[in-house]
Amino acid sequence: MIQKMERIKEIWVQLENNTSTVAGLFKLRFSEISKCDLFLGIKYPENYRLLIVKTPFSIGKDFNFKYEFRGLKFDKVYDTDDQGFLLLNLVLVDRQFKDIFDTLIADIISSIINETDLKYILKNYTNRLLKWQSLFERFGKQGLDPEEQRGLFGELYFLRKYLNSATDYNQVLNSWVGPAKEIRDFQAGSWSLEVKTTHGNNHQKVHISNERQLDTSNLENLILYHLSLEVRQQSGETLNQIIDSITELLINDFISLNSFKSKLIEAGYFDIHRQLYENAGYFIRQEVFYKVENDFPRIEEKDIRNGVGDVKYSIVISQCTEFIIDEDETFQIITAL
């Protein structure tokens, strides 16, 4: 993903250094060795940026992405350089979205660049666009809601601990899969870790969103990290401050820093909303690690009868004391595997 982001930025520089005054579409192939015909382009005189998928007319003529994005549009045009082909264009029309657009197209490219079946490519392309549609809509709203802010703060609080205990920052960041809405917040090899934040009058109860979240099938170790927060105005560590502290930690590691920024965007945190997160600060009332195993109170997928779905439940955390492990043991588990 990081290499793709670097290649994307490199192509934009090349295209935008074009001094031609001729109106039209200028494009560069993303990779000379890729199996999929992918290009980045600039449309003049509008100065629009484009992600371009080239397809034969017989396949591309029936492809339409009907959903709308703020700041983006989809169109398709004949390829004037290659008769019988169409260019399917994802067009950035609002430059304030350019950083998110780069992250979006890097994600799309990662999902299709090594494919050869055009029907599969276009299906995957559509699926990725649908995933990102809600993220673009969120950009235009008033930032993350309070629950989302607390959840992100909790993930970042653990991420900072993990980074401070590691030497390979990129490996740590690759394990942070919460922004991608995976089942658990951190995952690598045969271990997973789920972060749960509570606050106010709900400190002793954590909510589990599905039957797989605390399911240890195919895992050697599953850790539940409970973070009890006190939220105060104009006091404590803010969401902006914890992000700035992690940014400072990664400042000399260009690849890891770019990965971190991309994941923040995927999590719904945008710099344009920073002022919304300046007042609410967090104090840590309590933090506890639990090893999920044996009789830990939970529902697993194998416990669910046929026909039952969308399982959500809560755990009274005070009933889990026998499963507590210390922080050192936690990091021994996740750094050893």
| Residue finishing a domain among 94, 124, 139 | 139
pLDDT reading at 160 higher than 90: yes
What SS3 class is residue 293? coil
In a shared domain, residues 240 and 292 = yes
Q: For residue 165, what pLDDT is reported?
A: 93
Residues 187 and 99 in one domain: no
Residue 297 has pLDDT above 90, yes or no: yes
Instruction: Specify whether 210 is located in the same domain as 331.
Output: yes
Domain of 16: which CATH number?
Answer: 3.30.1460
User: Angle at Cα 219 formed by Cα 294 and Cα 295, nearest 5°?
Assistant: 10
Q: Of 45-49, 112-116, 172-176, which one has max mean pLDDT?
A: 172-176
175 and 257 part of one domain: yes
Domain count, the chain: 2
Identify whether residues 213 and 289 lie together within a single domain: yes
Q: State residue 2's pLDDT score.
A: 61
Q: Are strands 237-238 and 313-316 parallel, antiparallel or unpaired?
A: unpaired
Q: In terms of domains, do 34 and 150 share one?
A: no
Same domain, 134 and 172: no
- pLDDT number for residue 224: 97
Q: What is the pLDDT of residues 48-107, one digit of tens each?
A: 999 999 999 999 888 887 777 778 888 999 998 888 999 999 999 988 888 888 888 988
> In terms of domains, do 32 and 150 share one?
no
The pLDDT of residue 333 = 92
Instruction: For the chain, give the mean pLDDT.
Output: 89
**Residues 162 and 119 placed together within one structural domain of the fold:** no
Same domain, 65 and 166: no
Residues 304 and 178 grouped into a single domain? yes
Ranking 198-202, 222-226, 274-278 by mean pLDDT, the lowest is 198-202
Give the predicted TM-score (pTM) of the model: 0.73
Q: If pLDDT is split at 50, 70 and 90, which confidence band does 322 have?
A: very high
189 φψ region: left (φ > 0), alpha (ψ -120 to 50), beta (else): left
Q: What is the mean pLDDT of residues 274-296?
A: 95
Average pLDDT over residues 247-273: 89
User: What is the extent of the structural domain holding 262?
Assistant: 146-336
Which of 104, 123, 139 is the last residue before a domain boundary?
A: 139
Q: Are residues 40 and 156 in the same domain?
A: no
Report yes or no: 332 and 305 within 8 Å, Cβ to Cβ. no
End residue of a domain, out of 118, 139, 160: 139
Strands 191-199 and 72-78, sheet pairing: unpaired
